[in-house]
Amino acid sequence: SDSYPDLKRDSRFKKVTKEDVEHFRSVLGSSEAAILDGVTNETGEEDFESFNSDWMRKYRGQCRLVLKPETTEQVSKVLKYCNEQMLAVVPQGGNSGLVGGSVPVFDEIIINLSRMNQVRSFDDVSGVLVAESGVILQQADEHVAKQSHIFPLDLGAKGTCQIGANVATNAGGLRLLRYGSMHGNILGLECVLPDGTIMDDLSKLRKNNTGYDLKQLFIGGEGTIGIITAISILCPQRSNAVNVAYFGLESYEKVMEAFKEAKKQLGEILSAFELMDAASQSLYHKASGAKLPLEAEHPFYCLIETSGSNTEHDSEKLNAFLEHVMSEEIVSDGVMAESETQVQSLWACREGISEAGQHWGGVYKYDLSIPLPELYELVEDARKMFEGNGLMSAEDESFPVVDVVGYGHMGDSNLHLNVAVRRYDKEVEKALEPWVYEWVAKRQGSISAEHGLGIAKKAYIGYSRSETMIKLMKQVKGLFDPNGIMNPYKYI
C-alpha cells in the first residue's frame, strides 16, 4: 500500500473473487445501497474514496468492496463467510476516527454500519436507550432529548460519527467529566463474533455481577474482536439550564487554579472544563474567519459549561464564580453566553480546532493523558524542539511545520497536542515519534487517552502497557478472532 511502505499484505488473506461478491449479494441483496462493488464491475476509485480515505486524509486503503448490512443476521452471515474464506474485514462507522483504524490498509472488505440505524427502544423512566450501531450520535441525542434526556457523550464529530463506533473506540469527548466513560454508561451490547456467533447481551441492568464482564472488551476494542451491532446505554436527565463561559488567562498555573475553583464552586453543576492555548485559538480564527470572543489575546483560554436544573440558581453560581476568579486575578477576562447562538459560538471556538488544524495541509495529532501539573509542558517542549531543528516557520512555505498547538479536556487530564503542517513529512514524523511517547511514558501518562490505537499508535502501545498486559491482550484477540480477519495490521 502507498500509505504503508513498511507493511506487507498478509498473504493468508484471500483476495475477493467474483464468487465472493455473488455470495454477498445473496445475503444482502444487490441494491447499490447494500453493496459498493468494484470487483465485478467498473465502479471507479473515486466512489470508494470516502470509504478508503480517513478524515485527516492521512491513511488510505485500496478496498474494492463495501458491504452495508441492514440487520444483525446479515452481519452474522457476512462475517461467518469471511472467516471461512479468510477474507479480512474493517468495520466502519462514520469514518471520523483519528488513528487510521476505520480504513483498510490494503484490500480488506469494509463492513459499513450506516444502514443499521434504528432506535429499538427508549425508556424515559430508567433512561435506557437501546439502538443500533449505525445511529448517528447527534440523532441519538436528539431522539432522547425529545423525552428530556441526554446522550452521555458529546464530541465535535457528532454529526457524522456513529454510536456503535463511539463504543468501539471508547470515545471520551466534551462531557466525560460529568457523565463518565462508556465503560460505566454502557449497560449491554449486541456483538457479532468473526465466526458469525451473535453475542446477545443487550442488558438494561445497571447491576449484574455474574461473571466476567465480556462487553467491556468490545468497548475500546476498535473492531478487532467483533462487530458491535447494537448498544444499550444509560442516558441521564437533560439539564434545562445550560450556561457557558469562555475566559482568558495569563498562565497555565492560573488555568489549574481556575479548574480547582470551578470544582470547588460549581461542583455538582460543572459539565465541561476545556482548555485552549493562544495558538489553537489563533489557528481557529485564521481557518474559520470567526471572530474570537475576547478582544485582547491571552496565552490561555478555558471554556466552562454548567448544566443544572435551575437557570437562576445556576447563573448566580456561575456569576459568583466568575466574579471570584476575576477579583482574585486568576482569570484575566471572560464572557458568559447570553443566548443559544452564543453558546454555540463559544463551543465552536473549542470544537472548531480539529478542523482548523488541517487548514494548512495536514496535522499530526497526539491525544495524551498527562498528570495535570505537567500537562502543558509538552506543548512548550514540542515548540522548543521545532524551533531548534529548523522544521517550523509560520510564514516560510518551504518549512513543513506551521505551528504547534495545545488544547483538550482539562477536566480529564487529556491534552491534544497538534502539529499543523503544510504537508505530511517524514522528517517531522521522525522528530515527533517516539519523542512524544517517551516524554509521556516518563510521566506515567497514556499515549492514547481517547482516540485509540488504530494503525497510528499500534507500534507504541508498549509505552503505556506492560509486556504482561500486551501478552494477555494478544491472547484475548486470538480467542475471539483466531484467523485474525478483524481489522488486521492494527491495534496490537
258 binds, among ligand MLT, ligand FAD, none (CB under 5 to 8 A by kind): none
365 binds, among ligand FAD, ligand MLT, none (CB under 5 to 8 A by kind): ligand MLT
Does 181 engage in binding with ligand MLT (CB under 6 A)?
no
Burial 343-374 (b: 16+ CB within 10 A, else e): bebbbebbbbbbebbbebebbbbbbbbbebeb
Residue numbers 214-233 binding ligand FAD by CB under 6 A: 222-223, 227-228
Give min distance, CB of 51 to ligand MLT, in A: 21
Q: How many CB atoms lie within 10 A of CB 245?
A: 22
Phi, psi (deg, nearest 5) at residue 417: -100, 120
Question: For ligand FAD, which is the closer residue by CB, 343 or 385?
Answer: 343
Residue numbers 356-375 binding ligand MLT by CB under 6 A: 365, 367
Type of residue found at 420: A
**Nine-digit cell string for 224:** 478487532
Does 451 engage in binding with ligand FAD (CB under 6 A)?
yes
User: Binding residue for ligand FAD (CB under 6 A) from 16, 63, 88, 90?
Assistant: 90
User: Binding residue for ligand FAD (CB under 6 A) from 34, 89, 128, 165?
Assistant: 165
Is residue 90 within a helix (H) or strand (E), and if so which, with residue range? strand 89-92
Sign of torsion over alpha carbons 78, 83, 85, 86: positive
55 binds, among ligand MLT, ligand FAD, none (CB under 5 to 8 A by kind): ligand FAD
Question: For ligand MLT, which is the closer residue by CB, 156 or 248?
Answer: 156
Does 155 engage in binding with ligand FAD (CB under 6 A)?
yes
State the Cα–Cα distance between residues 481 and 220, nearest whole angstrom: 16
Give min distance, CB of 325 to ligand FAD, in A: 25
Residue numbers 127-156 binding ligand MLT by CB under 6 A: 156
362 binds, among ligand MLT, ligand FAD, none (CB under 5 to 8 A by kind): none
Give min distance, CB of 411 to ligand MLT, in A: 12
Does 113 engage in binding with ligand FAD (CB under 6 A)?
yes
416 binds, among ligand MLT, ligand FAD, none (CB under 5 to 8 A by kind): ligand MLT
Does 38 engage in binding with ligand FAD (CB under 6 A)?
no
60 binds, among ligand FAD, ligand MLT, none (CB under 5 to 8 A by kind): none
CA angle 322-323-328, nearest 5°?
100
Residue owning grid cell 447563573: 315
Give min distance, CB of 456 to ligand MLT, in A: 12
- List residues bridging with 130 in a β-sheet: 121, 232
Residue 304 makes CB contacts below 8 A (sequence gap 6+) with 244, 245, 246, 247, 262, 266, 270, 272, 273, 274, 318
Residue numbers 400-429 binding ligand MLT by CB under 6 A: 416
- DSSP readout, 419-483? EEESS--HHHHHHHTTHHHHHHHHTT-BS-SSS--TTTTGGGGGGTS-HHHHHHHHHHHHHH-TT
Does 158 engage in binding with ligand MLT (CB under 6 A)?
no
Taking CB under 6 A as the binding criterion, the range among 43-51, 166-174, 232-240, 373-381 that sits at the site for ligand FAD is 166-174
**Nine-digit cell string for 483:** 484467523
User: Binding residue for ligand MLT (CB under 6 A) from 114, 181, 354, 413?
Assistant: 354
Question: For ligand FAD, which is the closer residue by CB, 97 or 194?
Answer: 97
Question: For ligand FAD, which is the closer residue by CB, 95 or 239?
Answer: 95
Type of residue found at 167: V
Is residue 131 within a helix (H) or strand (E), and if so which, with residue range? strand 128-132
Q: Torsion over CA of 462, 464, 467 and 471, rounded to 10 degrees?
A: -90
234 binds, among ligand FAD, ligand MLT, none (CB under 5 to 8 A by kind): none
SS3 76: helix
State the Cα–Cα distance between residues 299 and 165, nearest whole angstrom: 35
Strand order in the sheet with 109-112: 35-37, 65-67, 109-112, 89-92
Give min distance, CB of 292 to ligand MLT, in A: 17
In contact, 283 and 356? CB cutoff 8 Å? yes
Closest CB to ligand MLT: residue number:
354
Site for ligand MLT (CB under 6 A): how many residues?
5
Question: For ligand FAD, which is the closer residue by CB, 132 or 314?
Answer: 132
In contact, 403 and 392? CB cutoff 8 Å? yes
Question: For ligand MLT, which is the closer residue by CB, 108 or 367?
Answer: 367
State the Cα–Cα distance between residues 148 and 162, nearest whole angstrom: 21
Footprint of ligand FAD on this chain (CB under 6 A)? 55, 90-98, 101-102, 113, 133, 155-157, 161-162, 164-166, 168-169, 171-174, 222-223, 227-228, 354, 450-451, 454, 487
Footprint of ligand MLT on this chain (CB under 6 A)? 156, 354, 365, 367, 416
